[in-house]
Amino acid sequence: MKKNINISIFGLNLSTINELKTIVDNILGADYSIYWTNIADTNLQVLLINHDFFDLPNIKKIKKDNLFVLKVSNNLDLAGQIQEQNLYLPLIDQLPLRNWLFNTVIPSLFPTSTTTYISKNEHTNKIHYTHFQNILLQLKQENNKSKLLLLDDNIQIALIDPLANSIWIDPNFKKNTHKIFQLVHADLNSIVHFRHKHTVQDLQSGLWQWIWDHLSGETPIYHGCYRLKHWPQPAANAERKDILKLSAYFQQGNSIEYIQQQLEISPDFIQRYLFISNILNIIEEISAHKTQQYLNQNIESKNAENTSSVRNFFSRLRKKLSI
């Protein structure tokens, strides 16, 4: 039987509350029953609270020895980290929160529990999707005449030439910081270094594959129908076949639900494909009336109507001729 945990989130806007609830449910939901309660609940065990409200008199009254509290605030430089009871948003890396829950909260709430979280993904170099959204946003805002360096803190990852639609990527890149990626204007030495040491790629194809290789499991959830505008060019690996299958279906314009029914491909794989294609603007959402299956159904319906009309005509003709 699952053990219960009473959690409250206080003083944050609704969208942030819902996002945190989803993340906590994903982290703990498989092993524990989460009860989302209010801040005044006497059974409250975990509290995530806006840091501005932490020292208010009414809040001080509810503090107790067995209550675990994180003060939540926004800080792009520390995004995702937990330091001295402070959780910093945006939550671009869920690992610190996961570690805090499993290695601090759970052992204290349930000391006899044998459940221990091993942080096996701590050095996997997988990157939260918001990092990539930030890169593409910066790229759109930059002057296309400038060559750009993509940085992880002070580590040079790639050289981008938007005017030539080209990119040079360091294949040995490993993300080791919690900093948000940055685009800066490239200096001459960096331009020469990347062009001499790394292989040039088409900008869109290079970014598509790079994001695919480094994207963590979490993405936004897409619904509805989509049409592919340009095919991605995936690397020759085990996933290439499924990526090309998805491209073929989305090129025709199809609903996600229909594609899931036709292909034995996991929903997470499809959502991953859609996220990358969407931020690179190579796919567009369409109405259900423009999907291939809708057009096929229309053709079948018209054919059935035509067949029925012909049958009715001959039936009436036979009656007139008494055949």
Per-residue model confidence as pLDDT tens digits over 93-114: 788 898 899 888 988 888 765 4
Please state, in angstroms and rounded to a whole number, the distance separating the CA atoms of residues 276 and 209. Answer: 9
- Cα angle, residue 84 at apex, residues 82 and 85 outer, rounded to 5°: 70
Q: Which of 6-20, 70-84, 107-121, 175-189 has the lowest mean pLDDT?
A: 107-121
The answer to whether 122 touches 95, Cβ cutoff 8 Å, is yes
- State pLDDT tens for residues 127-179: 888 889 888 988 888 767 789 999 988 889 999 999 999 999 999 888 766 66
Write out pLDDT tens, residues 6-50: 999 999 999 999 989 988 988 887 788 999 999 888 899 999 999
Give dist(CA 76, CA 90) in Å, integer: 7
Mean pLDDT of 86-92: 89
Is pLDDT above 80 for 320?
no
Q: What is the mean pLDDT of the chain?
A: 84
Order the strands of the 148-152 sheet from edge to edge: 182-185, 148-152, 155-161, 166-169, 200-202
Mean pLDDT (whole number) for 265-293? 91
For the chain, the structural domain boundaries read 3-109, 131-214, 225-321
| Domain over 3-109 is classified CATH 3.40.50.2300 | yes
Tell whether pTM > 0.85: no
Q: Long-range contacts of range 92-95, CB-CB < 8 Å, 24 or more positions apart?
A: 92/128, 92/130, 92/131, 92/178, 92/180, 93/128, 93/178, 94/23, 94/27, 94/128, 94/218, 95/119, 95/121, 95/122
- Write out the H or E segment, with its range, that includes residue 131: helix 129-141
Q: What is the pLDDT of residue 134?
A: 86
Least confident range of 74-78, 110-114, 298-302: 298-302
Instruction: Report whether 90 contacts 129 (CB < 8 A).
Output: no
Residue-by-residue DSSP string for 261-322: HHS---HHHHHHHHHHHHHTT-EEEE-GGGSHHHHHHHHHHHHHHHHHHHHHHHHHHHHHHT
Say if residue 266 is exposed, middle or buried (CB neighbours under 10 Å; 0-12, 13-18, 19+): exposed
